[in-house]
Amino acid sequence: MPITTTPPRIYTIQDKPRPADMADYLARVRAVRNALAALPGTPEPPEDMQHLTFQAANDIELALLGAERAIHAMEKSWIYSGETTSGGF
């Protein structure tokens, strides 16, 4: 599933997310988690939000936290290349 850049709806205290919104949210969490291969031990998000438990909610947070950590690790691991390191001589 391609990840779109459309901003998600911002909910207020009176709003209730629709089942389609929650399914879209979980699909986005799965897409981010699956796009980053360096996430060992990160739990799978739940299949749906029906009867969501605290553990399933924590699994969603852990998947997003693992993605954030992987992105920060990638940002710090740039390898610069130039003539001397790329065999340019």
pLDDT tens digits, 10-54: 778 888 888 888 888 888 888 888 887 656 778 888 888 888 899
All residues at 6 or more sequence positions from 27 whose CB lies less than 8 Å from its CB, including other chains: 1
Q: Which of 49, 58, 52 is nearest to 26 (CA)?
A: 49
Using the structure block, give the residue that is written with the tokens 């986005």: 28
Quick one: pLDDT at residue 5? Answer: 61
CA 51 → CA 1, 2, 21, 46, 72, distances in Å?
A: 25, 27, 16, 10, 33
